[in-house]
Amino acid sequence: MIRKNVVLITGASGEIGHGLIEKISEAGGSSIITIDLQPLAPEIKPLVTREFIGSILEDHLLQRILAEFEVETIYHLAALLSTRAEFTPVAAHQVNVEGTLKLLNFAQAQGESHARPVTFIYPSSIAAYGMPSGDFNRKVKEHEWNMPTTMYGCNKLYCEHLGRYYSRYFKQLAAETLSGKVDFRAIRFPGLISAMTVPSGGTSDYAPEMIHAAAKGEPYACFVEPDTRIPFMVMADAVEATLRLAAAPRESLNQTVYNITAFNPSASEIRDLVLEGFPGADISFDPDLMRLAIVDSWPADVDDSAARTDWGHAPRFGFEDGFSEYLFPRIREHYRS
């Protein structure tokens, strides 16, 4: 029996997953299979070859995939985000760490069963950092301040190391024998803002929640302070960066983990811009101390020069055009329809 070549996306029905599926299928050439607890949106479902509904912790799902498909690239998106993980830390550890371990092990088995190494794309996060709050001038490099304060951040940082462990022979052997089986590449996302969906359970959610509430004409009380500042990026650029990292030639990558960012406004600057797009929007501030402490432990900016140099990270949208030209028109259209 010949197994079919595919791309596997876990957590596929989440925010990043939908964007990724659209882009991969637009480009053509790769069949997609997915795993998620939730079914894919009806408009996305026809774009995938096979949809597995279930948990990444269920071994039989991965065994079925191993038997039937030759997986070339894995986008392992399934995770419990930072706020949610603080309420259920053990469940978060199971999904975020044990789940990733299972996927890495699956990638190793896939790599052993076919000739090519498996590219493993892992979305990490600014949550992998933990640093004093209020330091707005520092652009943090990947190896600095790796002292996360949240379960989610600890999970992400540790899984970056697990990925490096699984690809440990890659660099030294790849040149001569291509013996490395897992080609692990992690991308540390900033807060992401989608025009189509509001994330759930994250702590950078105040930005997308603010915009989507304004578009719906609903009042919004922001759970951080007006001067809270972290890096952000619009979803289209996050998807583009993910695909660019996956496509980069291995020899151009000098590290396994890359920061990326596009802009880093304060919460009040976000509010001001949202008010320009939706005059009369009712946006106030009512900080939640637990969520504020999480965001305050994240860097106000990150240094993404390695991503720009090694694999050409170049976000299309900055803060103002990202909101006025990308987010606002799409969000208006989304709620109109």
Just list the catalytic residues: 152
Amino acid letter for position 309: T
Partners of 263 in beta bridges = 232
Q: Does residue 167 touch ligand SER according to CB under 6 A?
A: no
Among the candidate windows 32-40, 120-128, 139-147, 163-171, which touches ligand SER by CB under 6 A?
120-128
Beta-bridge mates of residue 184: 120
Give min distance, CB of 191 to ligand SER, in A.
Answer: 5
Judge contact between 61 and 35, C-beta under 8 A: yes
* CA atoms lying within 13 Å on the CB side of residue 64: 13
Interface with ligand SER includes 122 (CB under 6 A)? no
Q: Report yes or no: 35 and 18 within 8 Å, Cβ to Cβ.
A: no
How would DSSP label each residue in 258-313?
EE--SB--BHHHHHHHHHHHSTT--EEE---HHHHHHHHTS-SEE--HHHHHHH--
Minimal distance, residue 119 CB to ligand SER, in Å: 22
Stretch of residues binding ligand SER (CB under 6 A), selected from 57-65, 93-101, 122-130, 278-286: 122-130
CB of 44 or CB of 85, closer to ligand SER? 85
127 is an interface residue for ligand SER by CB under 6 A: yes
One residue of 19, 130, 191, 265 binding ligand SER per CB under 6 A: 191
> Could you give the string, one character per residue 132-161, with x where binding to ligand SER holds by CB under 6 A and - elsewhere?
--------------------x---------
| Position with the least CB separation from ligand SER | 202
H helix intervals, the chain: 15-27, 59-68, 82-87, 89-93, 99-113, 151-166, 170-177, 206-216, 235-247, 267-277, 289-296, 305-311, 319-321, 328-336
One character per residue 63-102, x = contact with ligand SER (rule: CB under 6 A):
------------------xx--------------------
29: left (phi over 0), alpha (psi -120 to 50) or beta: left
- Rule CB under 6 A: say whether 189 interacts with ligand SER: yes
CA distances from 69 to 81, 122, 228 (A): 29, 20, 46
- Residue 189 CB, nearest approach to ligand SER (Å): 6
Q: Using CB under 6 A, which of the segments 30-38, 160-168, 179-187, 201-209 binds ligand SER? A: 201-209
Contacts of 38 (CB under 8 A, 6+ apart): 13, 53
Work out whether 202 is an interface residue with ligand SER (CB under 6 A).
yes
Minimum CB distance to ligand SER, residue 315 (Å) = 16
Contact positions toward ligand SER, by CB under 6 A?
Answer: 81-82, 125-127, 152, 189, 191, 202-204
